[in-house]
Amino acid sequence: DVPVPGKASTRFDLEKETELRFEVEAGEAAEQVELELLTGMAEVFGSELNRNKKYTFGPGSKIAVFTWQGCSVNLYGKPEVAYVSKDTPMLLYLNTHAALEQMRKQAERDNERGPRVMVVGPTDVGKSTVCRLLLSYAVRVGRRPTLVELDVGQSGVSVPGTVSALCIERPADVEEGFSVQAPLVYHFGSTTPGTNIKLYNKLTSCLADVFSRRCEVNRKASVGGCIINTCGWVKGSGYQALVHCASAFEVDVVLVLDHERLYNELKRDLPHFVRVVLLPKSGGVVERSKECRRDTRDEKIREYFYGFRGVTFYPFSYEVRFSDVRIYKIGAPSIPDSCLPLGMSQDDTQLKLVPVTPGRDLTYHVLSVSSAEDGEEGARKGIVESPVCGFIVVTNVDTQTQVMKVLSPAPRPLPRHTLLIMDIRFMDMK
Ligand code: ADP
């Protein structure tokens, strides 16, 4: 083999049904690691590797190269860790895929709908990875499943603080994941469902409605079913949100990763026809620190504006007059029931649009641009349930001139004038 100049290479010979796990050091200065398949066949989270092609993984990547038949690979560069494991749950995951595929076949035959699957478990058990795997396997056998992303902290589809749905048409790219084209995205506004559980449940229902309507007119989407990725919050209201999601989507299968109590609770609380399955987590899943999560979120927003890997975007910066936009926060601070105006419930306050007066404290906040038609009072009604068409970040506020400066992926003017404020901030350090 021909080593890349200046980069050390290490060869790994993998027996069948084993995986090579490696991590790339985090941090700006960290060196990338390249992976090359030399002989045999292998896959990364359900996507097959091409032989003699170098795949590049950037700082912070945590990767598993799994082989069903055996293979040899080269790593170039200095991974933080790299080891081969024989102990992986991949066979169980493959069996899960096979069972879902049976359900799709049956759906096709009986003119029914395909499996709707919810993946649950605490943080860092590999939920997103299992979703990616099942979706990639499904498209590889010609299905068109839908990914429903309900993890508002670590969304694989859009910026943090959103929930979304994406039709999957091809396997995830080994280096970049799923190609994100035309996702359906809703504004939630913060990184944990707990800040506004009513809104979270409402948006889950919105996604379920849209998905069901699509299934009615698109047979392939209906048979393909969906894979729902959820948040790692599995207690209290977090648990209730999972039960709500199961009912909104009328899920058929729940995959519980590595959490026996959650498994038992869901078995008890969901209708008997829902198949609840307990699956082990992979020993390769790496726990991520708070900082690491925050960095990933930041990176996701940066990517939205600046692109990533080979693709560079050039965002625009321009001024927006306060008088040209309406900014809202969804949800008023909750007040004791006894203080609520007569006839008003706590739900109403959590879904209420509260006008935000632009001030200096708006600086660095991410704002969603609502797709709701501009217009007066009447239009306000649909805003919470309207998808968003994009995001901007406020970079400066001038209260004197009543103007704010924004970072935007597209040139002025804003496509719409209803903006929803997130708790999430982004400081542009470029
Ligand atoms: P969750 O969605 O439950 O928070 P993820 O699926 O995002 O967890 O996994 C956490 C991290 O572990 C990710 O960076 C992922 O790439 C990595 N990972 C998952 N499975 C493996 C594995 N078998 N070997 C190495 N790393 C893995």
State phi, psi for 381 to the nearest 5 degrees: -60, -45
| pLDDT score of 388 | 96
Distance 87 CA to ligand 1 centre (A): 15
Report the amino acid identity of residue 175: E
d(CA 256, CA 275): 11
C-beta 156 within 6 A of ligand 1:
no
C-beta 129 within 6 A of ligand 1:
yes
Distance 322 CA to ligand 1 centre (A): 43
d(CA 73, CA 119): 31
C-beta 277 within 6 A of ligand 1:
no
Q: Candidates 19, 43, 62, 83: which one to mutate for ligand 1, based on the most atoms within 8 Å of Cβ?
A: 62
- Which residue's C-alpha comes closest to atom 20 of ligand 1? 285
Distance 129 CA to ligand 1 centre (A): 6
C-beta 62 within 6 A of ligand 1:
yes
- Which residue's C-alpha comes closest to atom 24 of ligand 1? 284
Strands 226-229 and 146-149: parallel
Distance 64 CA to ligand 1 centre (A): 9
Structure tokens at 227: 């894979």
Report the amino acid identity of residue 223: V
C-beta 279 within 6 A of ligand 1:
no
C-beta 132 within 6 A of ligand 1:
no
Torsion from C-alpha of 388, 393, 396, 400, nearest 10 degrees:
10
d(CA 346, CA 3): 64
| pLDDT score of 274 | 98
Distance 45 CA to ligand 1 centre (A): 9
C-beta 285 within 6 A of ligand 1:
yes
| pLDDT score of 376 | 60
- Which residue's C-alpha comes closest to atom 22 of ligand 1? 284
C-beta 155 within 6 A of ligand 1:
no
d(CA 18, CA 68): 7
Judged by phi (left if over 0) then psi (alpha if -120 to 50, else beta), residue 302 lies in alpha
C-beta 46 within 6 A of ligand 1:
no
Say what angle helices 127-140 and 90-110 make with each other, to 10 degrees. 50
Distance 175 CA to ligand 1 centre (A): 14
Distance 323 CA to ligand 1 centre (A): 45
C-beta 124 within 6 A of ligand 1:
yes
C-beta 34 within 6 A of ligand 1:
no
| pLDDT score of 5 | 60
Report the amino acid identity of residue 75: L
Of ligand 1's listed atoms, the one at least distance from the Cα of 66 is: 23
Total length of the chain: 430
> Average pLDDT per run of 10 along the chain, which is 430 residues long?
70 98 88 96 97 93 96 96 96 98 98 98 96 98 98 95 97 93 95 95 97 97 98 94 98 97 97 97 91 90 88 94 95 74 73 92 97 70 92 96 96 94 87
What DSSP line would sit under 90-159, residue for residue?
HHHHHHHHHHHHHHHHHHHHHT----EEEEE-SSSSSHHHHHHHHHHHHHHTT---EEEE--SSS-SSSS
- Before 160, cis peptide (omega within 30)? no
Of ligand 1's listed atoms, the one at least distance from the Cα of 132 is: 6
- Before 413, cis peptide (omega within 30)? yes
Is residue 411 within 8 A of residue 376, CB to CB? The reply is no
